[in-house]
Chains A and B, each alone.
Chain A
Amino acid sequence: MAVNEHLRTIRWAAWLGWQMESNWTSPFLFIIYSIIKPIMATLIVVFMYLIILKSVNADPVLFSYMFIGNAFYMYVAQVLFGISWVVHEDREHYQTLKQIYIAPINFPVYLVGRGISKIIITTASVIVTLAFGILVLGLPVNIWKIDWPLLIVAMVLGLFCICTIGIALAGISLLTARHGTGINEGVAGVFYLFCGVIFPITFLPSWGQSIAFFIPITYWLELLRRSMMPETISISGLANYSAQEMMVLLLVSILLFLFFSLIILKYADFLARKKGKLDMTTAY
């Protein structure tokens, strides 16, 4: 019974998210918009690479490491912060958070549902970016040699992990005013810097590497790279870990983050109700 209700919440929340994301313009313009932004963001790091090393073939392993990490990081940037931004958007811009609260739905499930529309859009962007990399830039990934089971399992676990962290950030957003973008920017910066997104974590100072080992996104990106381009193991700084070990680490960290995220959300929800913050408007 409850499962059916949660599934219905997810379905309609995802539909709402999709409408909000896409119905501001024509489908054609929306597709262009969804493609241009990630491609241009990727081209920044690609050009930085080409200016120094001149050709993809100069260091194809490092290029693949950077390109794959940067492409999949879009999920972190879009889904994680998309979920936390729901609170800000519903509470302050559309002022509908109180209606969501009094509806007979589970709030964390609603947040995940809103995240699903982001996952769909981001998946399209990631596919386009990777296709652009392979077809135009010569990214040395052979789609027939991809370890699909590892890729799919890692994707499912990783997206679940991103959603749980997003729920924690949404909880914090319930209590903050205009700092939503600042918090998102900060967490994005931490993950971009410490998780080996565009450069191997071995280039970080030792204390930075310790932080990297603590964040599950590091293992998630490494698993994705191993499934698509196993040669990147040689430079990742995680060669001592097998895929299975990292999968277990990812799973354990997901459970930990899920536990803490729900506690953070529950406590923030309690404080927000107590302090009357559920319908505050501070940014508009």
Chain B
Amino acid sequence: MIDWRLNLRAVIGRAYPRVIGSFREPSWLFFDIFLPLLGIAAFAFYYQALGAPSVFIGFVILGGAMTAYWLNVLWSMAAQFYWEKEVGNLQLYLMAPMSRMSVLAGMALGGIFFTSVRALSTLALGLLIFGIEIEITSPISLLVVFFLTLFALYGMGMMFSSLYLLYGRGVWHLSSVFQEPIYFVSGFYFPVKALGFWVSLLASIVPITLGLDAMRQLIFAGQETMGFLPVSVEIVVLILLAVVFIYGARVALNFMENLGKREGRLTLRWQ
């Protein structure tokens, strides 16, 4: 029988340090708000040097803002159980009576909070600094796409966290290798359609690919021709991805936890 009250407390308890911790270290606001703008500005000037229409600078700013979520999923969701293992917390989680999914859900909620500050401020400041005009065609669709993307993306992070559970230093490199390649194939800085149908289709396994594509179509009116799929189709696929990833996370977590117990690798540090 599922103890919903206990699991809800676990969700809040795990989200708490991520939210409160961010307020206790105000300097992270500087690092998270202003520093990402430097890299985004470099790509914006690059597009200017190429003579690109200003809407492409808007694409860069939107993609740059969304990198925050991808980085958070990679380093603070997928790799989190590895960090917990290194610091010695993992066995405490496993001994506690709540569902492991509650812990992951709490990590996701807390992560979404402080990552949203970085993403939204980057987006707002980027658009302001470079004077990019936006025209949102459907605010409701935009909100639906945004939250569905986060839901599916963090579901993917939850699934990865179980796969990362047993690995050592390889986790660090695995997350590292998922950065630039995903920036590229998911079209963070240009419309993913440019990569061709099959690459775009394969890249759509990562929810942020379709999420970004839909957001580009909804935020920059008139750019629908640059979209990979119609927004309505992308919404349906994002729903499917969210369901698959969250269910997959549950299955993978049980499997890897049992495997880790059998092989005695759950408390192994400094591998």
Interface residues of A (CB under 8 A from B): 20, 24-25, 33, 36-38, 40-41, 43-45, 47-53, 62, 66, 93-94, 178-179, 182-183, 185-186, 188-190, 192-193, 197-200, 203-204, 284
In the complex, 16 of the A-B residue pairs with CB atoms within 8 angstroms, ordered by the A residue number, are A20-B169, A37-B179, A37-B181, A40-B185, A47-B194, A48-B189, A48-B190, A52-B50, A62-B50, A94-B270, A185-B35, A189-B35, A189-B39, A193-B39, A193-B45, A204-B45
Is the beta-carbon distance between A53 and B38 smaller than 8 angstroms?
A: no
Residues of B contacting A36 in the complex (Cβ-Cβ under 8 angstroms): 177, 181
Return the CB mask of B176-205 against A: 1 if under 8 Å, else 0.
110111011100111100110000000000
Contact surface of B with A, Cβ cutoff 8 Å: 25, 27-28, 31-32, 35-39, 41-43, 45-52, 56, 83, 86-87, 168-170, 173, 176-177, 179-181, 183-185, 188-191, 194-195, 270
**Beta-carbon contact of A51 and B45 below 8 Å:** no
- Return A172 CB to nearest CB of chain B, in Å: 13
Task: Give which listed residue, B36, B49, B188, contacts A199 with CB less than 8 A.
Answer: B49
With a CB–CB cut-off of 8 A, which chain A residues contact B176? 37
Pair A189/B50 contact, Cβ less than 8 Å = no
Among the listed B45, B177, B195, which residue makes an inter-chain contact with A47, where contact means beta carbons less than 8 Å apart? B195
- B46:A93 contact, CB within 8 angstroms: no
Shortest C-beta distance, A237 to chain B (Å), equals: 11
Of A37, A185, A198, the residue contacting B36 (CB under 8 A) is A185
Contact of A197 (CB < 8 Å), options: B37, B42, B170, B195: B42
Query: CB-CB < 8 A to B83: which residues of A?
Result: 284
How many angstroms from the CA of A186 to the CA of B30 in the assembled complex?
10
B52 to chain A, nearest CB (A): 5
**Roughly how many angstroms separate A21 CA and B228 CA in the complex, as a whole number?**
38
Query: Given A189-B38, A189-B42, A192-B42, A44–B47 Cβ distance below 8 Å?
Result: no
Would B50 and A49 count as touching, CB distance under 8 A?
Answer: yes
Chain A's closest residue to B43 (CB) is A48
Tell me which residues across on chain A come within 8 A of B49, comparing CB atoms: 62, 199-200, 203
Query: Which residues on the A side are within 8 Å of B37 (C-beta)?
Result: 189
A-B complex: 9 closest residue pairs judged by Cβ atoms: A189-B38, A182-B31, A199-B49, A41-B180, A40-B181, A24-B169, A186-B35, A52-B50, A193-B42
Q: How far is the CA of A40 from the CA of B184 in the complex (A)?
A: 6
CB distance from B75 to the nearest CB of A (A): 9
Could you list 14 further interchain pairs (A-B, Cβ under 8 angstroms) beyond the known A40-B181, A52-B47? A24-B173, A33-B177, A37-B179, A40-B180, A41-B184, A44-B180, A47-B184, A49-B50, A93-B86, A94-B270, A189-B37, A189-B38, A197-B42, A284-B87
Inter-chain contacts of A179 with B (CB < 8 A): 27, 31
CB distance from A48 to the nearest CB of B (A): 5
- How many angstroms from the CA of A20 to the CA of B169 in the assembled complex? 9
Q: Looking across the interface, which residue of chain B has its beta carbon closest to that of A189?
A: B38
Known interface pairs A182-B31, A199-B45. Does A284 touch B184 (Cβ–Cβ under 8 Å)?
Answer: no
